[in-house]
Amino acid sequence: MNIDHLEAFMYVVQLKSIHKAADALFLSQPTVTARIKTLERDLNTELFARQGRGLLLTEHGREFIPYAEQIIQSYKEGKKIMKERDEQEEVIIGANIITSQYFIPFALPLWKRGNPQLRFKFISAPNELLIEKLLQKQVDLAFIKDTTNDGLQKQQLLDNSVRLVVYPDHPLQYEENITANRLAEEPMVFFECGAFDWNRIHKLFEVGKVEPRIEFQVDHLEVAKSIIKSRCAIGFLPYLCIKNELASGELFEIDVAHLIQIKQHVFLTYTNQEVTKWRLWKDIEETVKKF
């Protein structure tokens, strides 16, 4: 059964004429007649009886009217819902690699739950590429490190400072006023990534005129973290990566603020001030608090 056949039937019912129904549907009279005949074959019954030049509904035709109306109405409602879904507002969010790995999986489900009318598209990319995409209007919001660009606005959001961490019961846990010389005695894992100024850590040892025992040099945070957890080394890692392990006691932070401080934050960065009016904006702030 075709929805076009049902609509032709209802137009003929309402206008009491195939000629008028054809005009209303912008179809030829033979086409409307063919649709009625096809519908009658599908139903295995006559819906109209001819009376001179006019048409009269048969008893079966009158009985079928409410069913045809219901089917057409259901079709229109379904079509409307599909159209609304197609027109659903899309939000394109980007994040640098570290934020993508540790914050976004926590946040995206919460944002969708609070904003079912939005469709989310997510892009994980380096900071520099995300800045380009923001300026080219290819991304609405991006979670990136601090940047200075006249075309961008930003809001400090997540603490991602670099911390020195050790495995449980490491001797450094019980020592105070740790020196660069003391750190240089410990095997270390270095995570190399363009997102951080690791030269400052190297400088720490240069100033002390000592060579650090870099026994592992890796380019993946989880690898670096696993090496520390396996009690093979200590290391400097960004907070987002070790947040859960610090909370659970799997890793411990060593206070070396007197030697070095690498304060870093993730900024919510955008080009259009209008985004701050979105309900999503408040949800992002609430998600950061929960995280």
3 state DSSP class of 111:
helix
Distance CA 101, CA 217 (A): 20
CATH topology of domain 89-158+265-290: D-Maltodextrin-Binding Protein; domain 2 (3.40.190)
* The CATH classification of domain 162-254, taken from the options 3.40.190.10, 3.60.15.10, 1.10.3080.10, 3.20.20.140: 3.40.190.10
Q: What is the DSSP string of 195-220?
A: TS-THHHHHHHHHTT---EEEEEES-
CB-CB contact of 23 with 17 (8 Å): no
Q: Locate the domains of the chain by residue range.
A: 3-86, 89-158+265-290, 162-254
Distance CA 164, CA 204 (A): 13
Distance CA 4, CA 235 (A): 70
- Distance of alpha carbon 104 from its chain centroid, rounded? 8
Distance CA 181, CA 284 (A): 43
The yes-or-no answer to whether 3-86 and 162-254 have a common fold is no
Handedness of CA 256, 257, 259, 264 (dihedral sign): positive
State the architecture of 3-86 in CATH terms: Orthogonal Bundle (1.10)
10-residue mean pLDDT profile of the chain (291 residues): values are: 88 88 89 92 90 82 92 84 64 92 94 88 91 89 89 90 94 92 92 64 83 90 94 94 94 92 90 71 88 89
